[in-house]
Every structure is written in C-alpha cells, then in structure tokens.
Structure 1
Amino acid sequence: MTAIWIAVIGSSLTAFLNKYIGHSVPEKWLDRPRFKRINTLVPIVLLSALVGIQTFAQGNELVIDQRVAGVAVALIALKFKAPFPVVVISAAITSAGIYNLF
C-alpha cells in the first residue's frame, strides 16, 4: 500500500468520523445562541476565503492581476446595491477587458 492510498483512506475515515460526530451531538447543545451565531457566519467566511484564494493566488504564488479589478468592480456594484447578475457581469466584463488590454 502506497502513501497516497494511506492518505486517501485516512482522510476518508476522518471525514466520516466528523460527519458522524456532527450528527451525534445533542440538539440542546446546538440550540445555544452562540452556536447559532457561529453557524450563520460559517458560509460567509468560507465564501470569502474562496474568493480571496481564487483572486489573489495562482498555485503557491501571490498574484495581482485582472481578477483584482473584477472583484473591486463587484464590490463597488454591491455597495450601490446592484442586482446580482449586474454584479457578476460587470466584474466579468472588467476582468476580460483588462486581460485583453494587457
């Protein structure tokens, strides 16, 4: 058995145990206000981390390119409460325009 298979089996067992333990937690523990606040923020944090990684990273390097301009335009559009399709399209047009310009 190679190291890769050991890592695959180990990570699979870890994922299974995390899910099993998560379903085994008593409901009264999850009804606490602190846990509810944390659970509402987890998706926001994960999405922010994904956007940050996809915008500023390429492999193991920190990169500043046209994607930063697209995210900046999206943030400005969100600030002015633009509809989501407008935000996405304006960011895509900005990124594509700068990419083709340089």
Structure 2
Amino acid sequence: MTMWVAVLVAAGIAFALKLAGYLVPAKVLQEPHVKRVTGALPIALLAALVVTQTFTTGGGGLVLDARAAAVGVAVVALLLRAPFIVVVVLGALTAALLRLTGWA
C-alpha cells in the first residue's frame, strides 16, 4: 500500500466518523451518562497526549528527563492555583535549567 492510499483511507475514515457524529439522534446526546462521557473525553485525550510526549522517546521507550520534571513543576503550580502563563513559564524554565545543567 502506498503512502497516498493510506492517507486517502485515513481521510475517508475520519470523514465517516464525523458524519456518524452528525447522524446520532439528539435524544441520545441528552442522556446524562453520554454528557458525562463526552465532557470527559477531551480531558482524557489531552492527558494521554501529555503523558505520551513527556515519558516516551522516539524509539518508544519510557524515559525520565527534564520534561518529566517540568510537568511535575507545572502540576504543583496548578495545584497552587497559579495563572496559566505562570504555569507555562515555570515548566519551561524548569526544563531549560535542567537541560543547561546537563540533566537531559
């Protein structure tokens, strides 16, 4: 299978999933269980992306480096109710300082 065939198949699947979302009856979407699940999905997906980018390498292995420490500092700042920009700056500074000191 060539790359273009794979891209077209993926685009077709994405379009079909979007279309299926529009075809779901409104009555189903108003159920409390469905509302809870759909409200939590973006949070779960974002958490999965953060964990994947923080604790994995290009080869697929787990790693603890400056990224993990930066996320830890950002979590603490969030728990202390720091503004979002402060959280981002603290995380970036943590990663930069650790990399500067040689702790990759």
TM superposition score category, shorter chain reference:
over 0.9
d(CA) in 1 for partners of 2:80, 2:8: 48
> Who is 2:69 aligned against?
69
d(CA) in 1 for partners of 2:86, 2:53: 20
Quote how far apart the aligned CAs of 1:78 are: 1.0
d(CA) in 2 for partners of 1:36, 1:92: 35
Unaligned runs of 5+ in 2: none
> Who is 1:96 aligned against?
96
Aligned length: 101
> Who is 2:44 aligned against?
45
Output aligned runs, 1:1-102, within 5 Å: 2-59=1-58, 60-102=60-102
d(CA) in 1 for partners of 2:92, 2:15: 38
d(CA) in 2 for partners of 1:64, 1:40: 31
Q: What's the % identity of the aligned pairs?
A: 44
The superposition leaves residues 31-80 of structure 1 with CA deviations (integer Å, 9 ceiling, x where unpaired) of 10001000110111011011101111121222211011101101111111
Q: In angstroms, what is the RMSD of aligned CA positions?
A: 1.1
Unaligned runs of 5+ in 1: none
SS in 1 for 2:20: helix
d(CA) in 2 for partners of 1:84, 1:100: 24
TM-score (norm 1): 0.93
TM-score (norm 2): 0.91
